[in-house]
Structures are given as C-alpha cells and as structure tokens.
Amino acid sequence: MSSSNQMPTAADAGTITIGGDLHVNRLGYGAMRITGAGVWGPPANREEAKAVLRRALELGINFIDTADSYGPEVSETLISEALYPYPQGLVIATKGGLERTGPGEWPPNGRPEHLREALEGSLRRLRLERIDLYQLHRPDPHVPYEDSVGTLAQMQREGKIRHIGLSNVTPDQLTQAQKIVRVVSVQNRYNLTDRESEPVLEACERLDIAFLPWFPLATGELARVGGALDRIAQKHKRAPAQIALAWLLQRSRVMLPIPGTGSVKHLEENVAGAGIRLSREDFDELSRLG
C-alpha cells in the first residue's frame, strides 16, 4: 500500500489487461450512483456528481463503468460533461439491453433494433466514435440470445465497438456467446455475502477474461460487531467494506471491482481499501464466511 504520507491511488490495486490492449488499474468506478434516487433522473447535486468523477481520475481510476439505463441517460451525460475531452488511457465501458419504466424498474430489451439504438445513443452522449467495452446488460428471455449477441458482434465489425462484454450471465450463456464473438469481460453480482456467480468467475479465470463484480462492497450480517469481518477490519483500522474490497482483489487475478458512490469521501475510502493486503490467514477466514 502507499506510504502513510501519500494518498492511496487505484494503482495500489495493481493492473489488468482487458482484451489484450486495454490496460487499466484493477479498481474501477461504477457510475450508477451519480443519478437520482432509484437510479432515476438527475442527481440532487449535479456539480457534486461531476466532482466525484473528476476525483476518481485524480485517484488513478482509469476504468469507468456506466450504462444507458442509469438515469436513464443521466450517467453517460454527466461523464462527458465532467471528463470530456477524455485523458489518454481512460476506458469508459457502457452497457445496453435494459429499458427504464420508472425508479427500480429494469425490463430487459435485447431486440437487435433496440441494442443498435442504445449503442448509438451512448456514442452520442459520451461523445465517442467507438465504445472501448460495450456490454450486453442482461439476456432477454423473450429474444433469442444469439440475436442479441450477434447484433453486438455486427456493430463491432462496423467499428462502433472495440471489445464486447456480458453482464448477468450464467456459465452456459458465456459459452454460447463465445461461439459467436470474442467476449473479454463478464459483469455479475459477486461479493463476500453473495457468491452465486462463483462458477462464472472460475470460467473467467480459465478463459483469462476480466470479471467485474457489481455490488462489490456488500457485507450484510458479516459486518456484525465481534464477527470475523469486524475483527479483521479493526486490526487493519479500516471499515468492513474496505476489507471486503481487499478480499475481492486477492480472490482472483481477473477481478476488477467497480464500487460506485455519489460521494467524494466514500470514493476516497474505496480507493484506500484497494491497497490493503490481507494475510493468508485473514483471507482464508473471510473466504470461509461465504
């Protein structure tokens, strides 16, 4: 970790290469929380949201994950307002495949025409000619999966997408997609308290593709006073969520956590957590909690 008189940065988490040519620090930023309540509408304080984005770059974060459905459209718009023209080396990943009908409502839409409209909208809002990493947000049970993935592959051939990722998929869906197009990342829910996607993570390790855990800092009952997580956190003089992040980073070499926040203070706490090194004993004890 950085020395005590030096501010921790995302570089303390090490680096990862996505798709063979996107080299980023292994702590990213998830830009869902810079929107309004329920991930709906604009944030209460637009300037504060943009300050978080700028601070993320100052702290060495060079991978930002967003989606057209965050707001909708709000997150992508704020990213371009705050950060354009983008510094060299910044990777902005976005997603398509969900619609928004209200706060907390996320119906899937994997129809080819919707995905094409979604990508074009993201390109326009982000002021980009090509998305470095474009992810299918969720398989649509009403649309053949190969049609959704095939549409992304076609748009990649058109030069509008650099690399393709998936989100919220099973190992079988990852395998199916890989038969259609090269997949370089998977984004599934995964944290200390929810390891249902363990088989997907293991598949990503075998395939050497990035795994982006969403909701990475959840601790739930594991953070109860006197428990193992609480004890380890106190030993390091850190918050339980920071220990949960450190555990993720040590769990797998392909792990690229993307914790999100609308607060500069919380952002700085997350980055500080990326530099924590757990002993083998502490890591194993946390691993047994899941």
Question: How are beta strands 210-214 and 63-65 bridged, if at all?
Answer: unpaired
Mean pLDDT across the chain, nearest whole number? 96
pTM of the predicted structure, to 2 decimals: 0.96
Lookup: tokens for 266: 């919380």
Instruction: Report the alpha-carbon angle 57-62-63, nearest 5.
Output: 125
Identity at 263, one-letter amino acid code? S
pLDDT band, residue 4 (cuts 50/70/90): very low
pLDDT band, residue 144 (cuts 50/70/90): very high
66-121 tens-digit pLDDT: 999 999 999 999 999 999 999 999 999 999 999 999 999 999 999 999 999 999 99
pLDDT for 52 beyond 90: yes
- Which residue from 253, 243, 251 is spatially nearest to 275, judged by alpha carbons? 243
Q: What CATH number was assigned to the domain covering residues 10-287?
A: 3.20.20.100
The pLDDT assigned to 242 comes to 96
Q: What is the mean pLDDT of residues 116-135?
A: 98
CB 116 within 8 A of CB 156: no
pLDDT band, residue 5 (cuts 50/70/90): low
The pLDDT assigned to 1 comes to 44
Burial of 113 (0-12, 13-18, 19+ CB in 10 A): exposed
pLDDT for 45 beyond 50: yes
Q: What are the residue numbers of the active site?
A: 70
CB 230 within 8 A of CB 206: no
Instruction: Round to whole Å and give the CA distance between 250 and 254.
Output: 10
Instruction: Round to whole Å and give the CA distance between 83 and 55.
Output: 10
Residue 102, helix vs strand vs coil: strand
The pLDDT assigned to 3 comes to 42
193-230 tens-digit pLDDT: 999 999 999 999 999 999 999 999 988 888 889 889 99
CB 117 within 8 A of CB 88: no
245-265 tens-digit pLDDT: 999 999 999 999 999 999 999
Q: Where are the domains of the chain?
A: 10-287
Q: What are phi and psi of 45, to 5 degrees?
A: -130, 100
